């Protein structure tokens, strides 16, 4: 038994500024993050698995309207919600992912089911939903994902696109974190097993069935008991190019960097190619790193080492 | 200018046995591989880019009925053809990928177009095809991909499934390389730039819109001028768990292994988790590695170092 168990979560990184976040909304975010991490931590404390802990933590965020995952997923250009998810077990390297999901209430449960009940790693679109039905996952109508806040965000982005007469087929709009929403969790359990999981609605106004880094093992999510568990959040395309989550694991494994230095180095590489975002990571000893190059990242951590639940939003906290 | 330019290609790895491959079919494979690598090599020799070389080499294989990519793509359980592709530039880390493509004649051209004309890395399904039309790529009817050999393979797999009363939702059939088809190319040009590309029809009888390792940057494809360019072929799910292409690059970068040792080590890791397949890789000095743990891999190489075009199929050649 390992006494250094712990969990870290994120609810997205981006241009989160104190002056833009109302006290009421800030309080809501802190409460949701607290509930999410507490649910995950309790599972670990009771001797449960890191897989169950990250899943429980993510379900809280998927069921909240606040985060860009599940219920609060952003809208695509075609006014649909298309969700991605992934989960990985550090003990076995087993993993499961879903993409282009439109009717599955909790994409993270879908990812877990793929990991455990299929021989595949990634299932997409209609086929994925057929698989979900076979396994009795909760299916909801698209209107479940229709929230006023996200609908308004899409209208603003489209309006802005019209005004600027954007001719680019892909929108480059960053003002309201339209690119940066994701939720994620990483955990170490008492048995010494690591797990990582990520869930996302992708980018506001995304087109052409764009798939981001969330369902990419190695980019958005990675876990290996020999090193660490990682979940990323930010402009996904950059994490895909750098294969960031696996890169952190490899810098620990091959270069003997510790978790803190490997995670920092990953963010430096992200900055070097003009990418933005953050990562959360936990190693086999329960150390936690949460570096970012954005003004903020919704995040929380709770480990047996620190004995204190920490919830943060802004970079300078 | 670098005099060590070169190119390597694969046309899939698997249970390719001398006694199962007729002399006529073997001759056809060797001729197609020769044409593919010659087209790529000529571009490099003339001072063209590694991206153009890998693309040209792959187009030959995509247009052939012999390989599981483009024209010769295998059938899904629903009797459709769903193709994946990816390409990566080692100089800039730019990359483009496509998945669930059904009407694009050359998926590799699609990947290149995503890399160069979009801000995204991976586009899927109908959205991807919409993007392809906007960029005037060649669109074909599904019947273009209907080949007698692949159709027959699907019937055999389905018949076998019926006879064995398989209740698993995912078929585990390996007899005729139904899992292993992919084509790929890696190249180093005279400017010292590396590129990698992969294209695949996936697995015969695949269900639930399964996506394999081909469109996953880091798993099926990776290129970084600092290290190497890699394309994998085999049972994709295992390459996804190991993030094999990026792993080879990282073993060179962080562990100072040379290309040969890093590639061998990647295959050992694949064997350790019961995965099967092979990789092709080229480093910044023009060294080429093509290890596998299967009885065969359709492959060829041609470099300024070796000055000789080499085409091989069986492991012991």
Find the Cα–Cα–Cα–Cα dihedral A158, A162, A166, A167, rounded to 10°: 100
- Mean pLDDT of the B205-225 span: 95
Helix axis angle, B23-45 to B50-62, nearest 10°: 160
H runs (alpha helix) in chain B? 23-45, 50-62, 107-117, 125-134, 148-163, 236-242, 244-255, 259-272
Q: Which helix (H) or strand (E) segment is A238 a member of? A: helix A236-242
Bridge partner list, A147: none
User: Nearest by CB to B131, which of A208, A217, A243?
Assistant: A208
Q: Which chain A residue has the Cα nearest residue B121? A: A237
- How far CA A171 is from CA of A157, A215, A235, B124, in Å, comes to 9, 21, 13, 17
Identify the CA nearest to A97 among candidates A113, A126, A116, A121. A121
**What is the rounded CA–CA span in Å between residue B124 and residue A289?**
33
Does residue B18 belong to the interface with chain A, where contact is any CB pair within 8 Å? no
**What is the rounded CA–CA span in Å between residue A37 and residue A33?**
6
Burial code of A275-302, b = ≥16 C-beta within 10 A, e = fewer? bbbbbbbbbbebbbbbbbbbbbbbbbbb
CB B125 to CB A209 under 8 A?
yes
- Mean pLDDT of the A59-69 span: 96
Sheet holding B228-234, edge to edge: B221-223, B228-234, B277-283, B288-289
Longest CA–CA span in chain B (Å) reads 60
Q: pTM of this prediction?
A: 0.95
- Mean pLDDT of the A30-50 span: 98
Q: Which two tokens stand for residue A29?
A: 């975010």
Q: pLDDT higher for B63 or A156?
A: B63
Rounded to the nearest integer, the mean pLDDT of chain A is 92
Mind listing the pLDDT tens digit for each residue in B21-42? 899 999 999 999 999 999 999 9
Q: Which two tokens stand for residue A207?
A: 């087109």
CA atoms within 13 A on the CB side of B62: 24
* Mutation target among B96, B179, B248, B254 for the A interface, most CBs of A within 10 A: B254
Find the Cα–Cα–Cα–Cα dihedral A232, A235, A240, A244, rounded to 10°: -40
Bridge partner list, A303: A6
Find the Cα–Cα–Cα–Cα dihedral A188, A189, A191, A197, rounded to 10°: -60
Give the sign of the dihedral formed by CA B305, CA B308, CA B314, CA B317: negative
**What is the rounded CA–CA span in Å between residue B266 and residue B213?**
15
Mind listing the pLDDT tens digit for each residue in A234-293? 999 999 999 999 999 999 999 999 999 999 999 999 999 999 999 999 999 999 999 999
Does residue A251 belong to the interface with chain B, where contact is any CB pair within 8 Å? yes
pLDDT of residue B165: 57
Counting one residue from chain A and one from chain B, the pairs whose CB atoms sit within 8 A come to 153
- Mean pLDDT of the B44-59 span: 98
pLDDT of residue B169: 31
- Mean pLDDT of the A36-55 span: 98
Residues of B in contact with A237 (CB under 8 A): 119-121
Does residue B137 belong to the interface with chain A, where contact is any CB pair within 8 Å? no
Please report, in angstroms and rounded to a whole number, the separation of the first and last CA atoms in chain A: 33
Query: Has residue B172 got a pLDDT over 80?
Result: no
Rounded to the nearest integer, the mean pLDDT of chain B is 92
Query: Has residue A34 got a pLDDT over 70?
Result: yes
Collapsed DSSP state (helix, strand, coil) of residue B199:
strand
**What is the rounded CA–CA span in Å between residue B196 and residue A182?**
29
Q: With 0-12 CB in 10 A as exposed, 13-18 as middle and 19+ as buried, what is A47?
A: exposed
Helix axis angle, A259-272 to A244-255, nearest 10°: 130
Domains, chain A: 6-314 (3.60.20.30)
- How far CA A251 is from CA of A227, A269, B225, B241, in Å, comes to 9, 12, 18, 17
Residue B9: phi and psi, rounded to 5, are -135, 160
pLDDT of residue B171: 34
pLDDT of residue B17: 84
Does residue A272 belong to the interface with chain B, where contact is any CB pair within 8 Å? no
Does residue B219 belong to the interface with chain A, where contact is any CB pair within 8 Å? yes
pLDDT of residue A202: 87
Residue B289: pLDDT band (50, 70, 90) is very high
Q: Percentage of residues in chain A with pLDDT exceeding 90? A: 82
Query: Has residue B177 got a pLDDT over 60?
Result: no
């Amino acid at each position: 038994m390992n006494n250094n168990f712990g969990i870290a979560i994120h609810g997205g990184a981006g241009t989160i500024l104190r002056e833009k976040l109302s006290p009421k909304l800030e309080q809501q975010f802190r409460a949701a993050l607290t509930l999410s991490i507490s649910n995950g931590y309790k599972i670990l404390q009771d001797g449960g698995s890191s897989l169950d802990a990250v899943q429980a933590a993510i379900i809280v965020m998927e069921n909240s309207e606040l985060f860009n995952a599940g219920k609060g997923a952003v809208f695509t250009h075609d006014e649909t919600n298309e969700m991605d998810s992934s989960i990985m077990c550090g003990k076995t390297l087993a993993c499961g992912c879903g993409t282009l999901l439109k009717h599955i209430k909790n994409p993270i449960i879908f990812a877990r089911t793929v990991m455990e009940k299929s021989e595949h790693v990634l299932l997409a679109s209609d086929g994925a939903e057929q698989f979900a039905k076979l396994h009795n996952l909760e299916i909801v109508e698209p209107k479940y994902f229709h929230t006023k806040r996200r609908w308004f965000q899409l209208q603003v982005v489209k309006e802005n696109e019209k005004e600027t007469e954007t001719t680019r087929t892909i929108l480059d709009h960053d003002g309201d974190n339209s690119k940066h929403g994701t939720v994620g969790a990483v955990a170490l359990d008492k048995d010494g097993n690591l797990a990582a999981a990520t869930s996302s609605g992708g980018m506001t106004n995304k087109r052409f069935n764009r798939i981001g880094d969330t369902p990419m093992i190695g980019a958005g999510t990675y876990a290996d008991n020999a090193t660490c568990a990682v979940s990323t959040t930010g402009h996904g395309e950059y994490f895909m190019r750098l294969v960031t989550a696996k890169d952190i694991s490899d810098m620990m494994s091959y270069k003997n960097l510790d978790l803190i230095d490997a995670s920092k180095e990953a963010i430096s590489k992200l900055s070097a190619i003009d990418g933005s975002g953050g990562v959360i990571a936990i190693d086999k000893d329960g150390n936690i790193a949460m570096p970012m190059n954005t003004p903020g990242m919704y995040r929380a951590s709770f480990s047996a080492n620190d004995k204190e639940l920490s919830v943060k939003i802004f970079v300078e906290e």
